[in-house]
Structure 1
């Protein structure tokens, strides 16, 4: 009496019989696992609203406004990364240099050491010098020389056709449109922004005095990772 095949064995034989002809090899389809992200932002509206716009279901964006130094924000991120629900997430800190003349004596060291501390603890940093808005400006044009955040705001005020930058562009309602606004729309090019940001970043080489890297932003690195993990 012939022994009947198991259901699994019959199904595998069936797949082999219908899916492959001309001696092609049997290949099992594998579903690519998507990364999970925890994005911790220093900013209140601009950065979190922008990253919330990415169609990446596995991301979590939180705001940490209780930190008055970059190092304290990184300490917070390290603590969050160790929580059970975040252990399988890639953790990113998002902050900018934000020049403050009254903190000139301590600000460079805080900025530099916070980036180093994050990397030493397995975290990634999407930092900007001087302001996150540099990333937006790069969607429209190249920049090569040092530029203040107020000059960045002036450029964007024109590009976005605003009467007042601060009274409009910093509101949560306006910030919620940043992803669509900079996703290859109305003269903005994310592809060119990435290329321009890489060019600025590369010119500083391996120098770790990040406080002197201006204009520069590594936001493009987080954007590239999110793009790779967007829902289909």
Structure 2
């Protein structure tokens, strides 16, 4: 029997839909718990993908530097920087996007809070609301107090994930061309979610 080919990293190539699917993800998050807890919950098949998530608790400008350092140590296939508009300066926010793209990294950013992604699982929201109001809105939509650092939110929202993707795409279409710093509300989290979904069990 012929031996399986190995790629440059020594992984056996496995194919689904005629393409190699072994992927290594590095996801660097601005938040220490909210975003990391969500992305660590993806049930990605370990046979076809590896996902390393880091929550730094630092401002966006430091995410790219940390992503560079970690990627240089272990050469990932996809590197994502996840952060919010929050109250960061326009310069800090825009430079983070520019620097990430210059390094070949991908960006999943939200204006103005990551919780917008959660809301889109339930409804289409195209009117900006104060950051603090997302907690109230999600408490109503979930039917229980929203816990920002929940480690169960992924499972609670899983069945509505396709709705959130559809709503996020629809929202971005309203901003053409898209300006992440000004377009409130908006999010590109769905781009990362779609990539991870390709490797789900």
TM-score, with normalisation over the residues of structure 2? 0.84
Within the candidate set 84, 96, 111, 1:114 is matched to 96
1:70 corresponding residue in structure 2: 60
Deviating above 4 A after TM superposition, structure 1's stretches of 4 or more consecutive aligned residues are: none
CA shift, 1:170, in A, is 2.5
- Which has more strand, going by share of residues? 2
Matched, 1:96 2:102: no
CA shift, 1:73, in A, is 1.6
Q: Structure 1: give runs of 5+ residues left out of the alignment.
A: 1-7, 10-29
2:112 corresponding residue in structure 1: 130
Q: Structure 2: give runs of 5+ residues left out of the alignment.
A: 3-13
Cα distance in structure 1, aligned partners of 2:181 and 2:143: 31
CA shift, 1:206, in A, is 3.1
2:8 corresponding residue in structure 1: none
Cα distance in structure 1, aligned partners of 2:175 and 2:80: 22
Contact 1:91 1:124 in 2 (8 A): yes
Residue aligned with 1:37, SS: strand
Residue pairs, 1:140-159, within 5 angstroms? 140-159=122-141
2:194 corresponding residue in structure 1: 224
Aligned length: 183
Matched, 1:59 2:41: no
Cα distance in structure 1, aligned partners of 2:128 and 2:21: 41
Root mean square deviation of aligned Cα: 2.0
2:172 corresponding residue in structure 1: 201
Cα distance in structure 2, aligned partners of 1:129 and 1:156: 16
Contact 1:95 1:127 in 2 (8 A): yes
TM-score, with normalisation over the residues of structure 1? 0.73
Within the candidate set 168, 176, 181, 1:211 is matched to 181
- Which has more helix, going by share of residues? 1
Within the candidate set 171, 174, 178, 2:153 is matched to 178
CA shift, 1:154, in A, is 1.3
Cα distance in structure 2, aligned partners of 1:139 and 1:193: 4
Residue aligned with 2:27, SS: strand
Contact 1:71 1:110 in 2 (8 A): yes
Matched, 1:48 2:30: no
Cα distance in structure 2, aligned partners of 1:132 and 1:97: 9
